[in-house]
Structure 1
Amino acid sequence: MIDHGLTDRAGRGVALHEMDDDNWRDVADVAPLDDQRRFAPALAARYLLLSARGQVWTSLAVCADGAVVGHVMWARDDEDGTYWVGGMLIDGPQQGKGTGRAAVRTLLAWLAERDDCEEIRLSYDPDNVTAERLYSSLGFRRTADTEGDEVVAALPARAARLG
């Protein structure tokens, strides 16, 4: 479990849990709101398959007071040493409570603790204003790079450390 003591606006403790036999089904059922489906898969199950079959990404369950409310995944780019955040999805009914922010901050702090972590990157659809607002408020800045049709944003690891 990855827990940095962060809470969402509802006061729930937000932690990240490894995928296991007890939580993978709940994560697979996580779904975005209807108007977000052009930015995210209909269900988090696609992200779980990317982690299981692609052997690049590591999926984590986002939990609030122990209940699965979302998914996030991370990877390390062996070519340049950057760490990446991907597949962030909070279940539609759970959105708007600050849970996604707490989950991303928890993951960023955990990644930044690694000795070899100097930069953390992520990508998002340029039309996804909500994602851009969240990530820029956490200190991510757009780079000149792209991932397919998505913009890439970066954050120095020192800026991700809590405390």
Structure 2
Amino acid sequence: MITLQEIHMEQFWDVIDLSVRPEQAEFCTSNAVSIAQSKVQSECIPLAIYDGETPVGFLMYCVDRDDGEWWIYRLMVDARFQGRGCGTAALALVLERMRADATRSRVFLGVHRQAAAAVALYERAGFRFTGQVFGAEHIMRLDW
């Protein structure tokens, strides 16, 4: 069963050691950098993705300070656990948390268009490209 859990000292190194496939590395900021970012951007909520007792990925989301909208800043599943539905389940869980906030009705994320598996995951969840591009990331939005 996939769950999202706060990151504490006990599992910190396990989360830091998670990584995507080498060919995906250019599309994904490291978990160490993301956790550091969450310490200087207090709006960011970093979470470990667990399958039972095993850490399998990392997710970070927030209400962005620039536009006041929900954003998924990071979603990664370790190479050993990809293709098992962990990303789909984690995305559904974080979207459920976001939907509980009745003051917002959409969520954004940035993705590299070359990251075909990530694009497919987000499109299956209902995200659509907005036409905006920030650096190398193309922006997608989900409305509810």
1:71 to 31, 54, 58: 58
Matches of 1:17 and 1:74 in 2, distance apart? 13
Once the two structures are TM-superposed, the CA of residue 109 in structure 1 deviates from its matched residue by 1.0
- State the one-letter code of the partner of 1:93: R
1:81/1:116 contact within 8 Å kept? no
Equivalent residue for 1:33, pick from 7, 21, 27? 21
Cα deviation for residue 111 of structure 1 reads 0.8
RMSD across aligned C-alpha pairs, in angstroms?
Answer: 1.4
Give the partner amino acid of 1:139: G
One-letter amino acid of the structure 1 residue matched with residue 39 of structure 2: A
Write the mapping of 1:62-141 to structure 2, written as runs, cut at 5 A.
62-141=49-128
TM superposition score normalised by structure 1: 0.82
| TM-score with structure 2 setting the length | 0.92
Q: Higher strand share goes to which structure?
A: 2
Which position in structure 2 is the counterpart of 1:45?
32
Give the gaps of 5 or more residues in structure 1: 1-12, 159-163
CA displacement at 1:79 relative to structure 2: 4.1
Deviation at 1:49, TM superposition (A): 1.3
Contact 2:131 2:139 in 1 (8 A): yes
- Do the aligned residues in 1 keep the contact of 2:130 with 2:140 (CA within 8 Å)? yes
Identity rate, percent: 26
- Indicate the residue corresponding to 1:143 in structure 2: 130
Q: In structure 2, the residue corresponding to 1:30 is in which secondary structure?
A: coil
Deviation larger for 92-101 or 55-64: 55-64
CA deviation profile, 1:79-125 (whole Å, cap 9, x unmatched): 43310012111111111101011001110111111122211110101
Tell me what 1:16 maps to: 4
Q: Which piece of structure 1 moves more, 113-122 or 99-108?
A: 113-122
SS in 1 for 2:50: strand
Give me the whole-angstrom Cα distance separating, in 2, the residues matched to 1:147 and 1:75. 18
CA 1:37 to 1:78, structure 2 compared with 1: closer, same or farther past 3 Å? closer
Residues in 1 aligned to 2:138 and 2:56: alpha-carbon distance in whole angstroms: 26
Query: Per-residue deviation at 1:128?
Result: 1.2
Report the secondary structure of 2:27's partner residue.
Answer: coil
SS at match of 1:31: coil
> Could you say which structure has the higher helix fraction?
2
